[in-house]
Amino acid sequence: LTRAEVEDNIITFIGAGHETTARALGWTIYCLAEAPWEREKVEREIDAVLAREPDPTKWLDAMPFTRA
């Protein structure tokens, strides 16, 4: 690949990654807004984990409902 082709591919990957992340976050926020009882479960789980686990590298493993 030429330098220009590599640069174009990098820009494409960055743009695609940004778009999919933004869409996933938007959809998550929408779903939680439509189901406040589920949002409350997520909030309780996050609060409980942050209160007992000081190591951020372990937070996601301790939040099965939130990760789902």
Q: pLDDT tens digits, residue range 9-61?
A: 888 888 777 778 888 889 999 999 999 999 999 999 999 999 999 999 999 99
**pTM, to two decimals:** 0.69
pLDDT of residue 55: 96
Rounded to the nearest 5 percent, the helix, strand and coil shares of the chain are 85, 0, 15
Same domain, 2 and 30: yes
Question: How many domains does the structure of the chain reveal?
Answer: 2
CA atoms within 13 A on the CB side of 64: 0
CA distance 68 to 41: 12
Q: Which residue has the higher pLDDT, 8 or 37?
A: 37
pLDDT of residue 57: 96
CA distance 56 to 36: 26
In eight-state DSSP terms, residue 59 is T
Same domain, 13 and 26: yes
Query: Residue 10 is part of which domain span?
Result: 1-34
Q: Kindly provide the residue ranges of all beta strands, DSSP E only, lying in the chain, ordered along the sequence.
A: none
